[in-house]
Amino acid sequence: MKKNIFLLLLLSLGVTAYTQEVLKVQNGASITLEAGAEMMVAGGVTLDNGSTLANNGIFTIKQNGASGAADFFDNSIAAYSYGAGKFVFNSTITHAIYSNNNFGRIDVDAAGLNLGSNITANKWWLANGSVNTGNYKAIILGIASTDLEAGPSNANFLNSWINGNLRRYINPAVVNSYLFAIGGTTSKSFVELDNMAASPITGVQYLDASFGAKPGSDAGLMVSESGSQYIAVNPAGVWHIVPDNAASSGKYDLKLFFNGFTGLSDNAFAILQRPDLSADAAEWKVPDGSSLNPNNGAGRMVADNYALRKDIPVFGQFGIGQLFGALPVTLTNFDARRLSALIVHLNWETASEQHNKGFGIERRLENETSFTASGFINSKAAGGNSNLKLDYDFTDNNAYSGITYYRLKQVDIDGRGYYTQIKAVKGLNGNSVSVLLWPNPNKGQFSIRIDGTAGKKEAIVSDLQGKAVQRINITGNQQVNINGLAAGIYILTIPDAFGKNENFKEKIVVVR
């Protein structure tokens, strides 16, 4: 039979006390552990409303026997702080905890810890057993990066992490990096915010982080980056990073650790963001002003076990976007302009190159049905590899007075080729219109961006019999999504792109 122990207890420096089975502290009673004092309870703790516990030492809760409970319940209504001491949950079972009060430090070295309320501590030290939050939060009040710490037996939080919701208070002007050791029941999907001191986030006191199932599907996903199209967000899950207030300024680098994810390929994945509560694939985007490392850089390879995006200014829901195909060359600019009645000048720029042999220049006149080669420029990168900005240009002898379409064919050292977006120019003194159409071929989804035209333009997608299957209004930059088309060839037309009765027209190839 368990005994209830009712007491007023003062433990002074250097004193160790052991109480057996259940410790119950009644209304009006108090327990005080001074610095250096230790107390161990076998069987669990219950604090009545109106009792107090001051802990500046070490308070250990262990199980009572092989199968006994070892829970901690504080029924205090008015919240207060227990002090700077440690509460150690140390058993071969899973503990339960309920309290409105602030802990100095919580050590978890057990089968687990189940939260029955939000649990707040200045520091969490995790050795063994996951902290299962359910609908509640594990809250870290301390702002030091080490206020979430793994014990020696828990390298990289392999054996103990926050299974659920974690809130961390931050001071990015001082602390450069914060780790959120979060995940699910069996998997760890950590979040790390880095490079925070360079441009500190302002207006934010804390961040709530969790990992869970991806809401919604990929229908409507239309995001492109550096000429490549994202075709899916990995279904293994998404991360939610939610501030108490929207950031008024600042940015950070974000690492998402994709433990257990499948279907990723080197250089063909990256972090995308959308509003936290969104289930709409059309709201995924590349955060404004953010960037990726070049191919094979940190956070671009599957073996890294994380995705990295730099200079992110916002928070919300984050996922791992998967690219249609990883381009071996990051093309940051491509333009074509007519210089005279006889000459068109092309120039382009790369931010990185991998195994690049060079660029074929191809053109198609508006009265032609296919592209033909106009020339080839060898890569300026030593051995075809570079992480530096490289500039290229080419002069095409072209006296055609109508519309000419240009594209580049980037060729790998092993002979594989990748096409860039299409640029179009018309005769002398005409507009230089650039149209981004990518990917092509595609799987029924593609992006359009048109520059060099004023006002709103209508784009028409037609089958080969001339029947319009979709109409899209384009104003500067329009993401276009086509669903439900059978595999085949379609025609994209932008009427009056170059002026009255001068249309942009290009084939779209849909593959399944």
Q: Strands 52-55, 468-474: parallel, antiparallel or unpaired by DSSP?
A: unpaired
Question: In this structure, what DSSP letter does residue 467 have?
Answer: -
Residue 276: how many other CB atoms lie within 10 Å: 16
What's the pLDDT score for residue 457? 83
Whether the predicted pLDDT of 484 surpasses 70: no
Any idea which residue has 């080419």 for tokens? 394
Residue type, 87: F
**Angle, alpha carbons 351-356-359 (nearest 5°):** 85
pLDDT digits (tens, 9 = 90+) for 102-155: 999 999 999 999 999 999 999 999 999 999 999 999 999 999 999 999 999 999
321, 283 in Cβ contact below 8 A? no
- How far is it, in rounded angstroms, from Cα 256 to Cα 370? 43
What's the pLDDT score for residue 436? 67
* Residue 195 exposed, middle or buried by CB count within 10 Å (0-12, 13-18, 19+): middle
Mean pLDDT of all residues belonging to the chain: 87
Question: What residues are paired with 12 via a beta bridge?
Answer: none
Confidence band for 218, pLDDT divided at 50, 70 and 90: confident
445, 221 in Cβ contact below 8 A? yes
Instruction: Provide CB contacts within 8 A for 368, sequence distance 6+.
Output: none
Residue type, 27: N
Whether the predicted pLDDT of 264 surpasses 90: no
Instruction: Provide CB contacts within 8 A for 397, sequence distance 6+.
Output: 342, 343
Residue 217: how many other CB atoms lie within 10 Å: 13
pLDDT digits (tens, 9 = 90+) for 267-292: 889 999 999 999 998 899 999 999 99
Question: Among 231, 228, 229, 205, which residue's Cα sits nearest to residue 217?
Answer: 231
- How far is it, in rounded angstroms, from Cα 5 to Cα 70? 15
What's the pLDDT score for residue 326? 56
What's the pLDDT score for residue 402? 85
- How far is it, in rounded angstroms, from Cα 203 to Cα 244? 9
Any idea which residue has 């249609």 for tokens? 324
pLDDT digits (tens, 9 = 90+) for 339-382: 888 999 999 999 888 889 999 999 999 888 889 999 999 999 99
Confidence band for 302, pLDDT divided at 50, 70 and 90: very high
Confidence band for 318, pLDDT divided at 50, 70 and 90: very high
What's the pLDDT score for residue 454? 67
Task: Find the mean pLDDT for residues 289-305.
Answer: 94
Provide the residue count of the chain: 512
Top mean pLDDT of 159-168, 324-333, 448-457, 490-499 is at 159-168
* Domains defined for the chain, CATH in brackets: 14-323 (no CATH), 327-430 (2.60.40.10), 433-512 (2.60.40.3080)
Whether the predicted pLDDT of 67 surpasses 70: no
What's the pLDDT score for residue 8? 37
Instruction: Provide CB contacts within 8 A for 208, sequence distance 6+.
Output: 137, 165, 166, 167, 240, 241, 242, 243
Whether the predicted pLDDT of 400 surpasses 60: yes
- How far is it, in rounded angstroms, from Cα 457 to Cα 304? 44
What's the pLDDT score for residue 53? 97
Task: Find the mean pLDDT for residues 220-236.
Answer: 80
Whether the predicted pLDDT of 494 surpasses 90: no
pLDDT digits (tens, 9 = 90+) for 183-205: 988 778 999 999 999 999 999 99
pLDDT digits (tens, 9 = 90+) for 3-59: 333 343 433 333 444 444 478 999 999 999 999 999 999 889 999 999 999 999 999
Task: Find the mean pLDDT for residues 238-255.
Answer: 97
Q: Return phi, psi of residue 495, to 5°.
A: -60, 145
What's the pLDDT score for residue 483? 65
204, 143 in Cβ contact below 8 A? no
Please tell me which residue, 206 or 340, carries the higher pLDDT value.
Answer: 206
The tokens describing 182, both together, are 């979060």
Task: Find the mean pLDDT for residues 162-173.
Answer: 97
Confidence band for 422, pLDDT divided at 50, 70 and 90: confident
Question: Among 279, 332, 269, which residue's Cα sits nearest to residue 304?
Answer: 269
What's the pLDDT score for residue 487? 79
What's the pLDDT score for residue 504? 82
Please tell me which residue, 416 or 98, carries the higher pLDDT value.
Answer: 98
The tokens describing 396, both together, are 């095409």
Instruction: Provide CB contacts within 8 A for 179, sequence distance 6+.
Output: 145, 148, 190, 191, 192
Residue type, 426: K
188, 166 in Cβ contact below 8 A? no
pLDDT digits (tens, 9 = 90+) for 76-111: 999 999 999 999 999 999 999 999 999 999 999 999
Instruction: Give the CA diameter of the chain.
Output: 102
> Is the full-model pTM beyond 0.75?
no
Residue 129: how many other CB atoms lie within 10 Å: 24
> CA dihedral in degrees (165, 307, 257, 217; nearest 10)?
60
Percent of the chain with pLDDT strictly greater than 90: 59
What's the pLDDT score for residue 11? 38
